[in-house]
Amino acid sequence: MVKVYGPLMGLDASGSLASAITFSKCKGRNYVRQRVIPANPKSVLQVAVRVMMKFLAQNWASMTAPEKATWEELANNATISTFNAMVSAGMTRWRQMKAPAAATPAAETGSYQASGAATAVGGYRQAVVSFPIAAVNDGWGIAIERNTVDVYRGTLDAVVGVIATPAAAMQTFTDTGLIPNTYYYYWRRFTRKGALDANFAQGSLSAVVT
């Protein structure tokens, strides 16, 4: 990727030219790069990155004003928005298999969600994993891993979903686009302060997908 300096900066160019180069903007900065078509835009690692990116984007609005204010210094230093600062830091932690935090610095503390027995139900090309949240406490979300054998992997590329737990209610994750098979699910809770639950051995869930 090449940053653009000069006339194109003023044009605020976007889009692709002759299927060869692409003009766009990221975090307020214009850039131009070679147009690349991913060989596999839905690889397991890309899915794991996207589900956390989606989680962070969707939960920014519900963050408190004091939480958002903690990102101002980082945002000013990088000349980006507080939202982008939070997402960038959260994704950096996620790639290290750490939980994101609603405020910075991540204290990695807090009480996890209290939950009843989770369930997994298979169907046609999909499975639904449900978590009956009894108390939210400091909980923020749940990262869900899927495998085709009953073995916990604990790696980023095994994660297929991240759901928020904003209330004491049934929270569900629908895993779609599956081929017929038996799938096993594990999960780890995380808090708003960036603590990631080490207790994944609550028992794997299995779902038969047709």
Residues 148 and 171 in one domain: yes
CATH number of domain containing 201: 2.60.40.10
Percent of the chain with pLDDT over 70: 79
Residues 22 and 49 in one domain: no
- DSSP output for 85-103: HHHHHHHHHHHTT----SS
Mean pLDDT of 62-67: 96
Over 80: is that where the pLDDT of 18 sits?
no
Residues 135 and 185 in one domain: yes
Over 90: is that where the pLDDT of 181 sits?
yes
Residues 79 and 130 in one domain: yes
- What is the span of the domain harbouring residue 197? 41-210
Mean pLDDT of 127-152: 95
Check residue 154 and give its pLDDT.
Answer: 86
Q: What whole-number distance in Å separates Cα of residue 169 and Cα of residue 28?
A: 39
Check residue 153 and give its pLDDT.
Answer: 87
* Tens of pLDDT, residues 92-106: 999 999 999 999 999
Mean pLDDT of 36-52: 77
Check residue 24 and give its pLDDT.
Answer: 73
Residues 204 and 137 in one domain: yes
Residues 86 and 145 in one domain: yes
Residues 11 and 108 in one domain: no
pLDDT confidence of 21, banded at 50, 70, 90?
confident
Q: With both helix axes pointing from N to C terminus, report the angle between 82-95 and 44-59 in degrees, rounded to the nearest 10.
A: 140
Residues 154 and 62 in one domain: yes
Mean pLDDT of 5-21: 61
Residues 113 and 174 in one domain: yes
Check residue 14 and give its pLDDT.
Answer: 66
Over 60: is that where the pLDDT of 35 sits?
no
Residues 14 and 84 in one domain: no
Residues 7 and 106 in one domain: no
Overall domain count for the chain: 2
Check residue 195 and give its pLDDT.
Answer: 97
Q: Write out the H or E segment, with its range, that includes residue 170.
A: strand 170-176
Q: pTM of the full predicted structure?
A: 0.81
Residues 46 and 12 in one domain: no
pLDDT confidence of 26, banded at 50, 70, 90?
low
Lowest mean pLDDT among 1-15, 66-80, 186-200: 1-15
Tell me the CA end-to-end span of the chain in Å, nearest whole number.
Answer: 43
